[in-house]
Structure formats: C-alpha cells, structure tokens
C-alpha cells in the first residue's frame, strides 16, 4: 500500500539513508559529505516551520522517498516562488513513485497560494528531466560548469512550472 503524508523529524534517519546514497555516488546533489540525522531533522523543521510542505512517500509502511519545497529567494517579492526537490530510494526509481509524490507536492503548493515552482537539475539527468517535463515544467535556464563534484565540472539546468494565477496579481 502507498501513502503520502507530512514529514516529521522522526523520518530524518530514513531520509539520510536515501539522500546520502545520492551524495556519495552521484552528481544529483552537490553536497560532498553525508548529511547527519540531526542536520536532516533541522532541515525538515526549517521547511515546515517556514510554512512549506515536506512530504513522505511510504510503501508498505516503509519510507521510500520524499519531496519538499524551499524558498526560492529571501526577498519578499519572491514569496510566491519555491524550489522543489524529490528523492526516492534508488531501488524504486522508474516505477512512477516520483511522479506520484511530486504531483502531491504541487497540489500542496497550489493550495498554499504559491505560483512558481523551480527545479534545478544537475546535468545530465534524463530521468529527472523527463519527470519534470511530464509534470508540465519547461526548461528556462542552463548554467555551464557551475558545480564541481568527483573532480569534474557539472552543468545545472532549471525547469519552471507556473501554478494557477493568483487573484489580484498580473503576469508580465
């Protein structure tokens, strides 16, 4: 059975197990050292205390992945824009779980009145690009060689999704 629920600090250890795999073996994350459980718990608290969603995907009562949003920028004019992240247990990739939890995250963001969602994707990452584009994101930027990991320079692309318009706010 699959369930999606809000995250808590009790999920931090399992999130570390999922995330630290990507830290240690891929350029998907630009972190270079494993994230300790206490730091992950702090990250969860920072996101949720800031009024943004952090969701957990459970399959048969086991945490299989998570998705969350953070502020895009600190200045007040950016308050309707967020950056999104999604991570799955690597054993479960390619089965539609990422799309399921990401779609729920987008629903949560809409319900909170947010307008713009931005996904940064280290390149190459065909699976993440395909996931974002299936959900309606479109590529809006590409920065060459902005990261260095495992002794090589890494590009980052940005995909954007505009959520429902907000009353009283015009585009353009």
Residue 29's CATH number: 3.40.630.30
Establish if 18 belongs to a structural domain: yes
pLDDT tops 70 at residue 41: yes
Mean pLDDT value of segment 111-133:
96
Radius of gyration of the chain (CA): 16
- How confident is the model at residue 56, as a pLDDT? 98
Q: Give the global pTM.
A: 0.92
Decide if 168 is inside a domain: no
pLDDT of res. 146: 97
Residue 124 in tokens: 């190459």
**Which range marks the domain in which residue 147 is found?**
2-162
CB 108 within 8 A of CB 53: yes
Going by pLDDT thresholds of 50, 70 and 90, the confidence category of residue 36 is very high
Residue 129 lies in a domain: yes
Encode pLDDT of 66-115 as tens digits.
999 999 999 999 999 999 999 999 998 778 899 999 999 999 999 999 99
Residue 27's pLDDT band, with cuts at 50, 70 and 90, is: very high
Are 132 and 141 spatial neighbours (Cβ–Cβ below 8 Å)?
A: no
The number of folded domains in the chain is 1
Q: Which two tokens stand for residue 147?
A: 């990261």
- In whole angstroms, how far apart are CA 56 and each of 32, 34, 156, 168? 24, 20, 26, 33
């Amino acid at each position: 059975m699959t369930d999606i629920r809000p995250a808590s600090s009790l999920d931090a250890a399992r999130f570390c197990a999922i995330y630290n795999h990507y830290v240690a073996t891929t350029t998907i994350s630009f972190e270079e050292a494993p994230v300790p459980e206490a730091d992950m718990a702090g990250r969860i608290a920072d996101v949720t205390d800031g009024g943004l969603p952090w969701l957990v995907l459970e399959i048969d009562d086991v945490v299989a992945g998570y998705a969350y949003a953070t502020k895009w920028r600190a200045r007040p004019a950016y308050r309707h824009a967020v950056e999104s992240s999604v991570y799955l247990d690597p054993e479960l990739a390619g089965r539609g779980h990422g799309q399921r939890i990401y779609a729920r995250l987008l629903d949560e963001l809409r319900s909170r009145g947010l307008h713009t969602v931005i996904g940064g994707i280290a390149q190459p990452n065909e699976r993440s690009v395909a996931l974002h584009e299936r959900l309606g994101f479109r590529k809006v930027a590409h920065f060459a060689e902005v990261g260095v990991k495992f002794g090589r320079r890494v590009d980052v692309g940005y995909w954007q999704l505009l959520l429902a318009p907000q009353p009283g706010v015009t585009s353009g």
